[in-house]
Chains A and B, each alone.
Chain A
């Protein structure tokens, strides 16, 4: 039985995308891929939960990562994002949606985090790949030890990337 909250005004795919901090086109890729496309392009809370689950959406940040004394914003974000990926086990062969790395951040911090993630991808510390659910990222096996040293001890080859931020 449908719940009233489901049948009252349902969110359009655009509004749902805003709520989930995800581009509507990326959201459409997921709902089509997972056979969750609704006939009227609207979603109630129950349907939206299914979408969140199917897409593997996670919000990693409640507050922006804190900057330690002497650290640039980029350095703080790099420390935080690699720590978050490492603790969540986002290590090859497992991967996470790329937008999980930004969800929950304010627009300015989100833009800074994008730059950091791009720098990490360029340096080969992270790898990205397109999947049927969208762009995903992971720590490749080849850089795992270096990332571990950086996250746990603040040392290793990854420090070079950190210094440049």
Chain B
């Protein structure tokens, strides 16, 4: 029997460690005792090893746990930072919008000054030309020749000759009248970019209000009854016309429009809560702006380039 074997319980008829000697009970017991002592030592050693390993693993676990906690804290910190980033981005965006609108408002005011000066010059030149006896005679001729009174009773050849004469007069008058109605020409000035900023409200969910901000003074809307024509007025009317074209397209021409002061600029808010707002509202708006700028001769002559741009919903929130 092998005393070191865990299965080494004494079994009758088997041989002991001293091979070749007949087994005797005392020896067997002695042998068992030694086996037990040896086994005990081995087990104690193993248990000590296990304890040491347990302690080690425990320390590792504590370290891992500490790391997990530290990571969780770090995550929370980063997530808070991330949430704050959104707010910060919004704040910076709003700041950028305000600042750009203010800059453009100033630049447009300067361009408007030149526009007014050019308009005054054009007007005085026109008045001089209208006062010219030759021009006055042309206008009188044209009006006389345009009169259809008693024409029906005259021969065809006479009427034809009269029409030809009228066309000749008109060909001389037309350039003068075209100049009278042409916008002031500032095309020698550097191009001036100007943003029209659009957003919907509220920040989340279904759009209920459309906000359009134009870099012109908010007073333009209130002072309409006494304002003289100027570049800022034309610019506002152009933008408002686009706005109504959009409303006509989306069958919302009855939507109420309100003018408000947004950081000094004119903001127009349109309540769309009672209408269906199409998903392609932004694209449609930009298309209409593009079509308008292609037609707006007075802006082209003023060297003003109008850009429409959408910003995040809710960014242009106006207080009611």
List the interface of chain A (C-beta within 8 A of B).
1, 3-4, 7-10, 12-15, 17-18, 21, 23-25, 28-29, 31-33, 37, 39-42, 107, 130-132
Q: Is the CB of A12 within 8 A of B244?
A: no
Q: Is the CB of B253 within 8 A of A33?
A: yes
Asked if residues B297 and A40 are in contact (CB atoms below 8 Å), the reply is yes
- Distance A32 CA – B237 CA, assembled complex (angstroms): 11
Q: Is B63 an interface residue (CB 8 A)?
A: no
> How long is the Cα–Cα vector from A8 to B229 in the complex, in angstroms?
17
Name 18 A/B residue pairs within 8 A (Cβ), A-sorted.
Answer: A1-B146, A4-B139, A4-B173, A9-B181, A10-B181, A14-B229, A15-B229, A17-B224, A24-B233, A24-B237, A25-B240, A29-B257, A32-B248, A40-B181, A40-B183, A41-B238, A41-B241, A132-B248
A4 B229 Cβ-Cβ under 8 A: no
User: Are B248 and A14 in contact, CB atoms less than 8 angstroms apart?
Assistant: no
Question: Chain A residues with Cβ under 8 A from B126's Cβ?
Answer: 9
CA distance A12 to B233 in the complex (A): 10
Tally B residues with Cβ within 8 Å of A.
Answer: 35
Q: Which of B146, B173, B221, B253 contacts A29 (CB 8 A)?
A: B253
> Is B30 interfacial (CB 8 A cutoff)?
no
CA distance A13 to B255 in the complex (A): 21
Indicate whether A28 sits within 8 Å of B180 (C-beta atoms), given known contacts A18-B224, A130-B256.
no
- Are the CB atoms of A3 and B259 closer together than 8 Å? no
**B150 contact set on A, CB distance < 8 A:** none
B229, B240, B297: the one within 8 Å of A28 (CB): B240
Which of A10, A24, A25 neighbours the largest number of chain B CB atoms within 10 Å of its CB? Answer: A25
Chain B interface, DSSP helix/strand/loop, else mixed: helix
Task: Give the contacts of B14-51 with A (CB-CB under 8 A).
Answer: none
Contact with A along B190-226 (1 / 0, CB 8 A): 0000000000000000000000000000000100110
Task: Say whether B224 contacts A33, CB under 8 Å.
Answer: no
CA distance A7 to B182 in the complex (A): 11
Residues of A within 8 A of B237 (CB): 12-14, 24, 28, 41
Q: What B residues does A28 contact at CB under 8 A?
A: 237, 240-241, 244
A-B pairs, 8 with minimum CB distance: A132-B253, A32-B244, A130-B254, A12-B229, A132-B254, A14-B233, A7-B177, A28-B240
**Whole-angstrom distance between the Cβ of A115 and the nearest chain B Cβ:** 18
**A130 CB contacts on chain B under 8 angstroms:** 254-256
The smallest beta-carbon distance between B166 and chain A, in angstroms, is 9
A98 to B196, CA, bound (A): 30
CA of A62 to CA of B294, assembled, Å: 42
Asked whether, in the complex, the Cβ of B146 is within 8 Å of the Cβ of A39, the reply is no
Contact residues, B227-248 vs A (CB, 8 A): 227, 229, 233-234, 236-238, 240-241, 244-245, 248
